Structure formats: structure tokens, C-alpha cells
Amino acid sequence: MRYKEYLKKIEGKESWPMIVVDGVVGVGKTTLMNILVEELGYTAFLEPVVDNPILDKFYYDRKRYSFPLQIFFLNNRFRAIKEASLIDKAVLDRSIYGDLIFAKLLMENNEMDEEEYNIYTDLFENMAEHLCPPKLMIYLETSVDDAIKKINKRGREYEKVVEKDYWLRLNEQYAEYFRDYNISPLLKINVDNLDFENNPKDREYVLNLIREALK
């Protein structure tokens, strides 16, 4: 099933006043989220990574931990987006809308059983009935090599052990997802040659793109 089929229950609803920042691991989602907090007065909702009891185990044994990890993320992202929907200006570092990307990748890699994937997608579609689209979805595009450089610089050991082919397949799934994505306005920003964390010109360039998209 294509990604847009899973999102049909969200399509056409009135949007929630929130921005979602999405993209592959290491692309700069949290950095951009923090900039939106500082510059535009948004309230941040972080991805559940720091207090995640499964994430590091998953990278060392994806077959064993893929299903419980995805259920953990799905549950926490549903909780976060319900809270964010009650705030006038929220920004989320990833969200439940794109949670499917990782589950589909793991199923196609035979690292999640088909039965587990069916349970996961059934739960996702059940939750989707209670969701509305975001005001704006921001997709940070990047090459795999650039993402790996940022992952290595960040220095999380459990990410550094992952083979390049996994990141390649993940990037392909992201590209497929955002080709299908149609539930809200979408802003794609290629960040391969941008440093919006340290370069003021790049920062202002990205902020202007977002301000324009929000109009």
C-alpha cells in the first residue's frame, strides 16, 4: 500500500496550528525546531529519543527490537501531537504523520514480520481518525553522505554502527513518502549546502522560506 492510502483519514480536515519538521536521521530537525522556537515563538515538542529505553538496543539488533520500538514511537508521538494540537504555535521534531516511514522500511527489509507490520498499521489507522493535518510540513532533504557526516559528528555510538545501506534505504523511503504526501502544505528544503545552525545567512534564508510558506 502506498503511503497516501494510510493518510486518507487525515486528508481534508481543518489543520492544526503546528509546524512539523521531518527528514532522515542527522539532517538537522532539532536544530531547525530550536530556531523556530527562538525566532518565531513556537513551543517545541521533541522526538522521544533521550528517554527511549529501546532505541540503542534497536540499532544493535533491529530484527529483535523493530516492533516494540515502532510501537513506543507511535504511542509517544500520538500523545505529543494531542498535546501540541491544544497550543496555538507548536513545532514538532518528527511526528506521527511520518512514523510509517520507519515501519515500512523495516518490514521491507525483513526486520519486522508482516504480522507485526499489519498490527502496527492497523493501530496507526485507528489513531489517524483522531488526527488533523499540520499547518505546514517541512521536509529537510539531504544526500546520504551528508547525513552520515552529521551522524558521525553528533557521536551517538549506536547510530555510528549502522551500515550505509540502511541510511540509503531510509532516504529512499523518505523520498517516496514525500512524493505521496498531500494532507497539508509541504515545504522541501535541500540542506546539503546549508549550515543554518552556524551561518546567519543560511539561517535567514531558511526562515524566509518558512515565513513565506506560512502565508
What positions carry a catalytic annotation? 93
Q: Is 155 annotated as a binding residue?
A: no
Q: Is 28 annotated as a binding residue?
A: yes
Q: Is 194 annotated as a binding residue?
A: yes
Q: Is 31 annotated as a binding residue?
A: yes
Q: DSSP secondary structure string, the chain?
A: --HHHHTTTTTTSPPEEEEEEE-STTSSHHHHHHHHHHHH-PEEE--TTTT-SSHHHHHH-HHHHHHHHHHHHHHHHHHHHHHHTTSSSEEEES-GGGTHHHHHHHHHTTSS-HHHHHHHHHHHHHHHTT---EEEEEEEE--HHHHHHHHHHHT-HHHHTS-HHHHHHHHHHHHHHHHH--SS-EEEEE-TT--TTT-HHHHHHHHHHHHHHH-
Q: Is 173 annotated as a binding residue?
A: no
Show Cβ contacts of residue 17 under 8 Å, excluding neighbours closer than 6 positions. Answer: 87, 88, 89, 90, 135
C-alpha cell at 111: 526486520
Q: Is 124 annotated as a binding residue?
A: no
Q: Is 25 annotated as a binding residue?
A: yes
Q: Is 24 annotated as a binding residue?
A: yes
Q: Is 195 annotated as a binding residue?
A: yes
How far is residue 160's CA from residue 172's CA, in Å, rounded to a whole number?
19
Q: Is 79 annotated as a binding residue?
A: no
Q: Is 56 annotated as a binding residue?
A: no
Q: Is 99 annotated as a binding residue?
A: yes
Bind-site residues for substrate: 47, 59, 70, 94, 99, 159
Bind-site residues for ATP: 23-31, 194-196
Bind-site residues: 23-31, 47, 59, 70, 94, 99, 159, 194-196
